[in-house]
Amino acid sequence: MAEGPNEMSSYDNHYIAVDWGTSRMKAYLCEFNDDLCVTILDEVTCAGVQKKRGEFAQTFLRATAEWRLKYGALSVLMAGQIASSIGWRESPYVACPVAPADIIEASISFSCEQHDIFMLPGLSCQLANGHFDVMRSEDVQVLGWLQAEPSHRQGRYLICLPGTHTKWVLVNNGIIEVFKTAMTGELYDLLSTSSVLIQSAAVDFDQNCFDEGAQYTISSVSGSLIHGLFSVRTKQLFEGMDANQASSYLSGLLIGSDVRAAVNAQEWDISVLNGIVVVGEDHISRLFQQILQSQIAQVSLYAGKLASVQGFAAIRQRQLVSQVF
Amino acid sequence: MAEGPNEMSSYDNHYIAVDWGTSRMKAYLCEFNDDLCVTILDEVTCAGVQKKRGEFAQTFLRATAEWRLKYGALSVLMAGQIASSIGWRESPYVACPVAPADIIEASISFSCEQHDIFMLPGLSCQLANGHFDVMRSEDVQVLGWLQAEPSHRQGRYLICLPGTHTKWVLVNNGIIEVFKTAMTGELYDLLSTSSVLIQSAAVDFDQNCFDEGAQYTISSVSGSLIHGLFSVRTKQLFEGMDANQASSYLSGLLIGSDVRAAVNAQEWDISVLNGIVVVGEDHISRLFQQILQSQIAQVSLYAGKLASVQGFAAIRQRQLVSQVF
């Protein structure tokens, strides 16, 4: 019988990595070369957990059908909200501080049409004020950044991961110590589409208006966000901003507020870090970098997709051959 | 010909007061007695500006049809978003500081089926940071409170008006000096219905959870709101809060943040006021009062509906007989 969709794969160097979040699922078909460097052979995206409730197996199988035809049922690594209580299977939360190896060991596994699926756990931590925090899948990007250079695993780094929720992650000698979540991206989406502040969708980014918003919140006294948001409307009434410019101004207000809170967080001392790194998509990462650099020294960038793929690769390597971290 | 809907009214002591906001229109049929005290004879409510775009005359005439049958076409005072660029007619913004008389003089008037309609202006001001702020109709409540007692027109008072947007208004010797807007109510609505924080609608208010949220933001260092909001979710994951309790906790977080910003505002010195008054509906007013009193001395309450009706009455009196303010 020919190799087909229901056959285990003999392609040991191939696997599928899936970052399946609330709003989007990104799947990568990956291959290791002889040096254990990873190549992305193909990738697909589709709607996230929120849009596909209860149709997860079907969604996964449809998205990866071509790969299965060619390679059989490859092993799969999955992370994100897909592993939460509203996802396909629920994996546990592992409490920080955690080493990368602890994350891998807390994975759950199950089969789907002969695919071995490894669902990574979430991470939890307790903040200085006693509140808990959680993340799912951003830690894979942190792992990807950690394994990129031996120097990343020595010293204290603050990793900023912009997104629907910004995650600020403190790593110390390769251990994820603690992290904080800000609702920045979600607030932007809600306020720019469903509030009185802005009446029409943004079409372009306006750097000057972004700077004006960021400058306001980054340099403000406490409490400026809840009292400052309304300026998004009054700048359109009295200062000639159009709705498009107001969207960039709002983005600046929110990111400025987020960065200000991170710079002043009780969980770390920003002045005694070995580095600050923004891991994410290029445009949004540069905005965070710009505001961070207005407050502190050099901030570096690291591509979010690269970090994600490298993080999954490091986990897969550990499964296959030896200890990577 | 009998008096009917298209006749001018001979009921000089009667008038209609309309607070027509974004989400709700409230119309009161009012009558002065011989001492110029006002009685509400009847009242109606219907959907606000957002739901009735372009059908304003029709909506008003339908809502007040019974009154017109009985009293003819009474004079009408209107305030709120109905007088904004997205309303029926646009009245100007009057810049603070303003005396009550200035507000009345900036009204615009027009006719609708023999009703004389007086549309009150909006108010604008410039904040310490140079931003502008605006309000429409809350100033009518401030006028109502001002005319309730001669002592209210002597000294400095901070008036807090909770609502979709909280307005904090500084009055000094009867003059509206400056005010600030917070998006508190609108943020609560967006975050409790359309975000990842809460998955089902609140059914009850939980005082303990409210207190916990308020305590967190009122006593926190700067920036806690954008980083603190996610605790609404993690308290459900790790601390056993249900969605209902989480809604009250979120309300506490937001109102605590709003009050903290007001207490620390650059536009006034909270320690040299003659009084702080919360003007609004009973439940929400008591929540603001409670948090304010945890920070400063005695805070009094004043019923929002009473303030509104008295404010319109003071304006009507001035039109009819003499200077009230």
What helix, strand, coil percent values describe chain A, rounded to 5? Answer: 40, 25, 35
Buried b (16+ CB within 10 A) or exposed e, B73-112: bbbbbbbbbbbbeebbeebebbebebebebbbebbeeeee
pLDDT value of residue A77 = 97
pLDDT value of residue A11 = 77
Q: How many CB atoms lie within 10 A of CB B286?
A: 13
Residue from B261, B247, B256 nearest B181 by CA: B261
Task: Answer whether residue B48 shows pLDDT above 80.
Answer: yes
Q: Which residue has the higher pLDDT, B300 or A1?
A: B300
Sign of the C-alpha dihedral computed for residues A195, A212, A253 and B263 taken in this order: negative
Looking at residue A38, its amino acid is: V
Cβ-based contacts of B93 with chain A (< 8 Å): 237
DSSP letters along B161-217, please?
A: E-SSSEEEEEEETTEEEEEEEE-HHHHHHHHHHHSSS-SS---S--HHHHHHHHHHH
Catalogue the E-assigned strands of chain B: 14-20, 24-32, 38-47, 75-79, 93-95, 108-112, 115-119, 122-126, 132-135, 156-161, 166-172, 175-182, 275-280, 299-303
pLDDT value of residue A7 = 59
3-state SS, B93-126, equals: EEECCECHHHHHHCCEEEEECCEEEEECCEEEEE
Cβ within 8 Å, pair B225-A224: no
* Confidence grade of residue B260 (pLDDT, cut at 50, 70, 90): very high
Is residue B146 within 8 Å of residue B324, measured between CB atoms? no
Instruction: Give residue B43's Cα distance to chain centre.
Output: 17
Phi first, then psi, for residue A230 (nearest 5°) are -65, -20
Q: Which long-range contacts (CB under 8 A, 24 or more apart) does B183-186 make?
A: B183/A195, B183/A197, B183/A226, B183/A229, B183/A230, B184/A226, B184/B254, B184/B255, B184/B257, B184/B258, B186/A195, B186/A196
pLDDT value of residue A74 = 96
Sign of the C-alpha dihedral computed for residues B180, A254, A165 and B195 taken in this order: positive
Mean pLDDT of A250-278: 94
- Per residue in A166-188, pLDDT (tens digit) is 999 999 999 999 999 999 999 99
Whether the bond into A100 is cis, omega within 30 of 0? no
Sign of the C-alpha dihedral computed for residues B138, B144, B146 and B152 taken in this order: negative
Cβ within 8 Å, pair A234-B165: no
Cβ-based contacts of B182 with chain A (< 8 Å): 226-227, 229-230
Cβ within 8 Å, pair A227-B260: no
pLDDT value of residue A227 = 84
Task: Answer whether residue B199 shows pLDDT above 60.
Answer: yes
CA distance A302 to A62: 31
Cβ within 8 Å, pair A182-B230: yes
Q: Give Cβ neighbours of residue A302 (< 8 Å, ≥ 6 apart).
A: A145, A148, A277, A278, A279
CA distance A253 to B143: 33
Task: Answer whether residue B1 shows pLDDT above 60.
Answer: no
Q: Which of A140-144, B4-8, B286-290 has the lowest mean pLDDT?
A: B4-8
For chain A, the average pLDDT equals: 91
Cβ-based contacts of B184 with chain A (< 8 Å): 226
Phi first, then psi, for residue B133 (nearest 5°) are -140, 155
Largest Cα–Cα separation, chain B: 74
| Cβ-nearest to A260 among B22, B180, B223 | B223
Looking at residue B220, its amino acid is: S
Under DSSP, the state recorded for A223 is: T
Q: Which of A51-60, B55-64, B115-124 has the lowest mean pLDDT?
A: A51-60
Cβ within 8 Å, pair A234-B196: no
**What is the least distance, in Å, from the CA of A29 to any CA of chain B?**
30
Cβ within 8 Å, pair A222-B261: yes
pLDDT cut 70: percent of chain A above it: 94
**What is the least distance, in Å, from the CA of B129 to any CA of chain A?**
9
Is residue A161 within 8 Å of residue A141, measured between CB atoms? yes
Mutation target among B220, B226, B250 for the A interface, most CBs of A within 10 A? B226
Q: How many CB atoms lie within 10 A of CB A316?
A: 24
H or E segment and range at residue A166: strand A166-172
Cβ within 8 Å, pair A186-B165: no
Query: Which neighbouring-strand residues pair with B301?
Result: B278
- Chain B: residue nearest A180 by CA? B227
Under DSSP, the state recorded for A98 is: B
Is residue B132 within 8 Å of residue B139, measured between CB atoms? no
Mutation target among A227, A232, A242, A268 for the B interface, most CBs of B within 10 A? A227
CA distance A325 to B126: 56
- Chain B: residue nearest A260 by CA? B223
Mean pLDDT of A233-251: 95
Residue A233 in tokens: 């409307």
CA distance A277 to A288: 10
Under DSSP, the state recorded for B219 is: T
CA distance B9 to B68: 8
Looking at residue B68, its amino acid is: R
Q: Which residue has the higher pLDDT, A290 or A320?
A: A290
Cβ within 8 Å, pair A182-B226: yes
Q: Which of A105-114, A228-237, B221-230, B274-283 has the lowest mean pLDDT?
A: B221-230
**What is the least distance, in Å, from the CA of A264 to any CA of chain B?**
8
CA distance B175 to B102: 10
Cβ-based contacts of A237 with chain B (< 8 Å): 93, 132, 134
For chain B, the average pLDDT equals: 91
pLDDT cut 90: percent of chain B above it: 79
pLDDT value of residue B200 = 84
**What is the least distance, in Å, from the CA of A131 to any CA of chain B?**
6
Cβ-based contacts of B230 with chain A (< 8 Å): 133, 165, 181-183
pLDDT value of residue A5 = 46
Is residue A121 within 8 Å of residue A107, measured between CB atoms? yes
Instruction: Give residue B241's Cα distance to chain centre.
Output: 32
Task: Answer whether residue B50 shows pLDDT above 80.
Answer: no
Sign of the C-alpha dihedral computed for residues A104, A105, A111 and A115 taken in this order: positive
pLDDT value of residue B38 = 93
pLDDT value of residue A257 = 92
- Per residue in A19-48, pLDDT (tens digit) is 999 889 999 999 998 777 899 999 999 988
Task: Answer whether residue A2 shows pLDDT above 50.
Answer: no
Cβ within 8 Å, pair B184-A222: no
| Cβ-nearest to B226 among A132, A195, A261 | A261
* Confidence grade of residue B33 (pLDDT, cut at 50, 70, 90): confident
| Cβ-nearest to B222 among A129, A221, A229 | A221
CA distance A282 to A303: 7
pLDDT value of residue A322 = 53
Residue B316 in tokens: 């009507």
**What is the least distance, in Å, from the CA of B133 to any CA of chain A?**
6
How do strand B108-112 and strand B115-119 relate by DSSP bridges? antiparallel
